[in-house]
Structure 1
Amino acid sequence: MAAPALEPWLAAAPRKRSSAARRPRRKGVAAARCPEADGEADDRVTLRRIQEAREDLLVSDFWSSALETITACLTKHLELKATKETLSEALGNLHLDSPGDESAVSTGSVPGKTLVVGNCPLKCVCYGLGNFATCVIARSQLTFLLLFMDKFQIPRSHCWVYDPQFSQLETAVLRSLGVTVLGENEEGKRSICGEPTVFFMLHCGTALYNNLLWSNWSIEALSKMVIIGNSFSGLKERLLTRILKENYTYIAKILEGLEELEFPQASQYADVFNDTSVHWFPVQKLKQLPAEIWAFQEEPDYQDCEDLEIIRNKARQPRT
């Protein structure tokens, strides 16, 4: 079958890996409500539906409000000088404590010089997107991700996407859009390896966030991350303190070291972006946490955790 003709916005960018498992129950319920869930789709149909979802999102009040929320968070986090640096430029400098901090120069930089803007390009990782070819909710989330990257000038070649339930069609469509589809379920245990990274994790299982924090459990790494996903304060309210501390240790420990701002509410997207916040980890807050918090770095195993809302990678589990 010939490749579909793409709209200009959908045209693949030039093509220049821990994976995640989605939260099946939340997404499963959502998929059941999708009017297209029982229908067939091909790549042409799917790309057309993505284009339509883009048009709907762009004219919605939600998009402009959500964009203001994200911009407010990043502006506060980066302490931008409005006349000197754009958001997209400053995002690449997330690793700097402040504009003149020579101690935070990245590896490979000239000694005594602060990092030049653009030397450390921003990455984007999306976990748990769902079956966007047949579900309007998942498709709206994919559309938001693509628009977000366009707005903040993140090349699609810098985006990695994973969901264990992607179909072959969805994998092919994502690749045609210029993003990289990860081939292995690493359960969210992805280290950012010193590169500023935005994680897009809507409606994912709590363990996925916990695994991600464990994989980046240091002041240096966490201060370079932004997480758009389930509200951490909401998790604290919903889970018993004992369960949170025993099963999701890293979330429990980081609650005093982060800031978050909720996404706006909109009836049109009530099932799409509910319980969503932007989270970031200011260096100043992280440094105020007790030193013993950083000393504990045991890998989560969830052996005694009931109702674990992620799909495990069986090949990675210890044999009993």
Structure 2
Amino acid sequence: MAAEGGWRPAGGRRRRRRRGREEEEEEEGGGAVLRRLREARNDLLSSGFWAASAGAVRAPLGGTAEPPARCVCYGLGRFSCCPAARHQLAFLLLLLEELGVPPERCSVFDPAFSAQEAAALVELGLRLLPDNEEGKHGIEGLATLFYMVHCGKALYNNLLWRNWSPGALSKMVIVGNSFKGIEERLLSRILERDYSYIAKVLKGTEEVVLPAHPQYLDTFNDTSVHWFPLQKLKELSPEVWDCVEEPTYQECEIIRKGDGAEQHGPAAAES
């Protein structure tokens, strides 16, 4: 048979078509990712999950937390091919709108991002962090929202260590794994040994869990909004603030900075 552009052997034709499909997918990839993201947003809105969650995400503002001036997001995962990650990203974008944080003031990082996903995030107006911070992001005096759904415990522990003072912690809101759940699931000696900053801040934490929804049981399970009222932090023992030793881990679920995690390309997904 004659193929467009002349005769081709059957095998060559199949290879040509396969390459054509790959090139076509690459060309439309960004648009397809953004289209699926809009669909995920519509799902969150039409299901009622976002409306049910709005009270939880605004709870810190009804307390003592400052409205966030910026946002840092870790651990979204492969949202181009994973529906759960895509819904988590859509939730983040709704969250930024709700709290009045411009997209350009939201920084994101995940070592698994492909080049296509990184480009889609930039198109959304978000900022890509250039390096793997291992969660050690200082707020530098600015009220900051940290969006860390389903991240490892070491990342939360590192974040607390980096901002270990009543003044800094009181300017933070963390949307991520329930600290109460971490406390319930871990033996006290393990929590205090391996994740000491989580252990020490528990009594200074306010937490509101996101509502359960049958459509998102795996996507947002065990997810809470956490904040740290200054008055509660000041009521903690003064000794709590004396130890500021940087955490080290023997066994934990964290990708180290030296493990190639700085990449945003396909190689990073294999790290």
TM-score (norm 1): 0.71
Match of 1:239? 186
* 1:313 has 2:260 as partner: no
- Cα deviation digits, residues 236-286 of structure 1 (max 9, x gap): 011111110111110010011111011100011111110000000001100
The residue identity in structure 2 corresponding to 1:238 is: R
User: Helix, strand or coil: the match of 1:49?
Assistant: helix
Q: 1:63 aligns with which of 46, 50, 53?
A: 50
The answer to whether the 8 Å contact 2:60/2:173 transfers is no
- Please name the residue that 1:150 is paired with: 97
Match of 2:230 in 1: 283
Q: Name the SS of the counterpart of 1:91 in structure 2.
A: coil
The CA deviation at 1:169 is 0.4
Which of 129, 149, 166 is matched with 1:202 structurally?
Answer: 149
Which ranges of 4 or more aligned residues in structure 1 deviate by more than 2 Å? none
Could you say which residue in structure 2 is the equivalent of 1:135? 82
Q: How far does residue 177 in structure 1 lie from its aligned partner after superposition?
A: 0.4
| Cross-structure match for 1:75 | 62
1:1-320 alignment to 2 at 5 Å? Answer: 42-78=29-65, 91=67, 122-302=69-249, 305-306=250-251, 308-314=252-258
The amino acid across from 2:254 in the alignment is I
| Residue 315 of structure 1, CA deviation | 6.8
Q: Is the 8 A contact 2:57 2:95 kept in 1?
A: no
- Note the residue ranges of structure 2 that are not aligned, 5 or more in a row: 1-24, 261-271
How far apart are residue 70 of structure 1 and its match?
Answer: 1.6
Specify the code of the residue in structure 1 equivalent to 2:51.
Answer: S
**Code of the aligned partner of 2:61:** L
Q: Deviations over 1:177-224 (max 9, x none)?
A: 000011211100010000000000000000000000000000000000
> Equivalents in 1 of 2:56, 2:197: separation in Å?
26
Letter of the 1:149 counterpart: L
Q: Match for 1:309: what amino acid? A: E
Deviates more, 1:60-69 or 1:210-219: 60-69
Between the aligned partners of 2:78 and 2:188, the Cα distance in structure 1 is 33
Counterpart of 1:254 in 2: which secondary structure? helix
SS at match of 2:64: helix
- Return the alpha-carbon distance in structure 2 between the equivalents of residues 315 and 132 of structure 1: 22
Aligned with 2:208: secondary structure?
strand
Give the SS at the match of 1:161: strand
Displacement of 1:73 after TM fit?
Answer: 3.4
Which position in structure 1 is the counterpart of 2:11?
none
Matched to 1:158, the amino acid is R
- Partners of 1:48 and 1:174 in 2: CA distance: 13
Alignment root-mean-square deviation, CA: 1.6
TM-score with structure 2 length normalisation? 0.84
* Residue identity matched to 1:91: P
Return the alpha-carbon distance in structure 2 between the equivalents of residues 187 and 179 of structure 1. 19
Give the Cα–Cα distance (whole angstroms) in 2 for the partners of residues 91 and 69 of structure 1: 14
1:3-51 CA distance string (max 9 Å, x none):
xxxxxxxxxxxxxxxxxxxxxxxxxxxxxxxxxxxx9871111011001
For 2:32, the aligned partner's letter is V
Q: Which has the higher helix share?
A: 2
Q: Is the radius of gyration larger for structure 1 or structure 2?
A: 2
Alpha-carbon offset, residue 76 of structure 1: 2.3
Contact 2:148/2:176, CA 8 A, preserved across alignment:
yes
> Which sections of structure 1, spanning at least 5 residues, go unmatched?
1-38, 79-89, 93-121
